């Protein structure tokens, strides 16, 4: 009877904790004010319910089955007590709490058993729970506070490298991409999630970092209105807004890749080495932005016959693509193109499948529609982030400072095309 009352009492406590956690913002407060043991108990409870038991028997932690063998029938009533051996300690940080489990895992219990319990623990505690490896052991990390909803431009610092750009802040601090490491980027998300804003934020940093002698940007955007202001920027070699002009640029880029390989033969392995050896004839980096891939007519569109074959050769030639799409489906981006897009940035999507298509994991579909610029980036590992907010005025300020009217770099082939009237080069 006493045991039943104790059990009922602890369940009520857990329920209370869950209620605290659900009322967002109060969870960490609840934990700070002494509810950590209760949360730990809830975790033990779920492990037990999932038959992932662990018992402390004379100092050793055993799996439930092993303890049953040692303790025989007596195991049942003491389970509640012995199961405490699971969570060793709870360590809060700025965003949540790590519940460290006993290490090593009890005999007969593996990572898969722990993964099975994640949903149950999340339901009990409210919030997002992850299984994390911590040293030799495991822990459950409960996020009690999300990322900031809006991260002002002022908090942002330029990362060091020439081809680097900060995209936002994650749980571990600033999140950056580096085209020198992974040369091409895919940004995928539903309309209005913040794709163009992020593309522009990345470009703004490149424009601040690299002079017009070091960088030439081509912007392919069929919407015509979004990138008008960029036309005048010194580093922007062209803003084109028709499929035909886009194709002409792609052809130029392809020819440029071949020309650069020829130039570098016998001199250097890549643009970096070449520019060091030939300081008088330095080659600029070229960054090509394609916003809304779907508009080019799907994966078999002529533009891909130019872009597809060169992607893997581009890094050595100093040429980089940043692609944006609302529809990251196989009919829009071919598998071999996607395989070359080493950085995958995903913002809110409407479906789980779209999330999988972009970052090879679910989760983007859970981002609420009002949360602009929230996303996950696969850049080696997978990371949550909130994109920096570059207000229009700030961007305009940066663009104006770099619109001096100086002569721009032109791709040799693009110049020919422009002479024939095929390219919409202004100035
Ligand atoms: N990082 C951000 N933080 C806050 N608001 C943002 C952010 N990025 C975009 N927004 C808001 O969302 C709107 C849509 O963004 P946009 O980049 O045009 O989306 P998309 O290109 O995906 O359609 C912007 O006008 C802006 O108001
Ligand atoms: Mg857009």
CATH number at residue 338: 3.40.50.300
pLDDT band for position 9 (50/70/90)? very low
The alpha carbon of residue 120 and the mean position of all alpha carbons in its chain are separated, in whole angstroms, by 26
Q: Are 388 and 169 in contact (CB under 8 A)?
A: yes
Judge if 375 and 268 occupy the same domain: yes
Residue 427 lies in a domain: no
Of 94, 119, 143, the one marking the end of a domain is 143
How many structural domains is the chain composed of?
2
Is residue 426's pLDDT more than 90?
no
Residue 290 lies in a domain: yes
| 121 CA from centroid of ligand 2 (Å) | 38
pLDDT band for position 223 (50/70/90)? confident
Q: 51-55, 169-173, 334-338: which has the minimum mean pLDDT?
A: 51-55
Judge if 243 and 119 occupy the same domain: no
Which residue lies with its CA nearest to atom 8 of ligand 1? 194
Contacts of 234 (CB under 8 A, 6+ apart): 211, 212, 402, 403, 404, 406, 408
Peptide bond into 232 cis (omega under 30): no
Judge if 121 and 172 occupy the same domain: no
Give residue 93's domain range: 2-143
**Percent of residues, the chain, with pLDDT higher than 70:** 80
Judge if 255 and 307 occupy the same domain: yes
Find the ligand nearest to 187 CA: 1
Find the ligand nearest to 222 CA: 2
Judge if 157 and 83 occupy the same domain: no
CB of 150 within 6 A of ligand 1: the answer is: yes
Residue 20 lies in a domain: yes
Shortest CA distance to 366 belongs to which of 378, 352, 377?
352
The alpha carbon of residue 293 and the mean position of all alpha carbons in its chain are separated, in whole angstroms, by 20
Find the ligand nearest to 291 CA: 2
Judge if 156 and 139 occupy the same domain: no
CB of 189 within 6 A of ligand 1: the answer is: yes
Mutate to test the pocket of ligand 1, among 197, 222, 327, 395 (most ligand atoms within 8 A of CB): 197
- What is the Cα–Cα distance from 284 to 271, expressed in whole angstroms? 9
Q: 67-76, 106-115, 216-225: which has the minimum mean pLDDT?
A: 67-76
| 284 CA from centroid of ligand 1 (Å) | 30
Q: What is the pTM of this model?
A: 0.78
Judge if 15 and 123 occupy the same domain: yes
| 252 CA from centroid of ligand 2 (Å) | 25
CA distances from 23 to 130, 142, 376 (A): 20, 15, 25
Residue of higher predicted confidence among 78 and 352: 352
Residue of higher predicted confidence among 18 and 398: 398
Residue 133 lies in a domain: yes
Judge if 164 and 131 occupy the same domain: no
The per-residue pLDDT for 219 is 96
pLDDT band for position 5 (50/70/90)? very low
Dihedral Cα 176, 182, 184, 188, nearest 10 deg: -50
Judge if 91 and 231 occupy the same domain: no
| 374 CA from centroid of ligand 1 (Å) | 10
Residue 426 lies in a domain: no
Of 109, 125, 143, the one marking the end of a domain is 143
Residue by residue, DSSP assigns 3-27 as HHHHHHHHHHHHHHHHHHHHSTTHH
* Cα 369–Cα 372–Cα 378 angle in degrees, nearest 5: 100
Judge if 41 and 186 occupy the same domain: no
Of 143, 166, 193, the one marking the end of a domain is 143
Give the relative orientation of helices 64-71 and 75-82 as an angle to the nearest 10 degrees.
130
CB of 374 within 6 A of ligand 1: the answer is: no
| 186 CA from centroid of ligand 1 (Å) | 17
Contacts of 421 (CB under 8 A, 6+ apart): none
The per-residue pLDDT for 92 is 83
Mutate to test the pocket of ligand 1, among 186, 187, 194 (most ligand atoms within 8 A of CB): 194
The per-residue pLDDT for 157 is 80
Residue 425 lies in a domain: no
| 183 CA from centroid of ligand 2 (Å) | 22
Judge if 273 and 209 occupy the same domain: yes
CA distances from 67 to 4, 57, 71, 80 (A): 22, 7, 6, 13
Judge if 139 and 165 occupy the same domain: no
- What is the Cα–Cα distance from 361 to 345, expressed in whole angstroms? 12
Residue 287 lies in a domain: yes
Find the ligand nearest to 227 CA: 2
CB of 403 within 6 A of ligand 1: the answer is: no
CB of 419 within 6 A of ligand 1: the answer is: no
Q: Are 324 and 195 in contact (CB under 8 A)?
A: yes
What is the number of the ligand 1 atom nearest to the C-alpha of 388?
1
**Percent of residues, the chain, with pLDDT higher than 90:** 53
Residue 183 lies in a domain: yes
Find the ligand nearest to 152 CA: 1
């Amino acid at each position: 009877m006493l045991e039943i009352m104790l059990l009922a009492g602890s369940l009520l406590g857990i329920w209370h904790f869950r209620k605290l956690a659900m009322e967002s913002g109060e969870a960490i407060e609840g934990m700070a004010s002494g509810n950590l043991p209760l949360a730990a108990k809830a975790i033990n409870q779920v492990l037990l319910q999932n038959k992932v038991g662990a018992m402390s028997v004379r100092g050793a932690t055993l799996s439930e089955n092993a303890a049953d063998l040692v303790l025989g029938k007596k195991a049942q009533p003491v389970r509640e007590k012995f199961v405490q051996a699971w969570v060793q300690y709870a360590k809060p940080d700025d965003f949540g709490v790590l519940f460290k489990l006993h290490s090593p895992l009890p005999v007969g219990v593996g990572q898969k058993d722990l993964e099975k319990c994640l949903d149950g623990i999340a339901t009990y505690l409210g919030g997002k729970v992850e299984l994390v490896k911590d040293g030799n052991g495991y822990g459950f990390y409960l996020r009690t506070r999300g990322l900031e909803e809006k991260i002002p431009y002022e908090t942002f610092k330029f990362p060091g490298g020439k081809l680097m750009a900060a995209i936002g802040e994650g749980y571990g601090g600033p999140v950056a991409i580096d085209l020198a490491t992974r040369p091409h980027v895919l940004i995928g998300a539903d309309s209005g999630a913040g794709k163009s804003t992020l593309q522009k934020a990345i470009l703004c940093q490149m424009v601040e970092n690299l002079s017009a002698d070091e960088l030439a940007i081509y912007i392919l955007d069929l919407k015509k209105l979004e990138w008008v202001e960029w036309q005048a920027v010194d580093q922007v070699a062209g803003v084109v807004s028709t499929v035909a002009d886009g194709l002409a640029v792609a052809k130029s880029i392809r020819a440029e890749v071949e020309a650069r390989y020829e130039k570098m033969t016998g001199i250097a392995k890549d643009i970096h080495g070449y520019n060091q050896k030939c300081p008088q004839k330095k080659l600029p980096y070229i960054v090509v932005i394609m916003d809304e891939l779907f508009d080019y007519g799907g994966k078999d569109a002529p533009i891909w016959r130019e872009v597809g074959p060169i992607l893997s050769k581009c890094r050595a030639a100093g040429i980089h693509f940043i692609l944006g799409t609302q529809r990251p489906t196989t009919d829009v981006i071919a598998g071999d193109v996607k395989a070359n897009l080493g950085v995958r940035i995903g913002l809110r999507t409407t479906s789980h499948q779209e999330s999988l298509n972009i970052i090879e994991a679910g989760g983007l579909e859970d981002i609420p529609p009002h949360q602009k610029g929230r996303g996950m980036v696969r850049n080696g590992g997978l990371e949550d982030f909130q994109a920096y907010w570059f207000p229009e005025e700030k961007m305009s300020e940066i663009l104006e400072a770099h619109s001096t009217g100086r002569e721009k770099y032109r791709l040799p082939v693009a110049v020919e095309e422009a002479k024939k009237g095929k390219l919409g080069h202004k100035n």
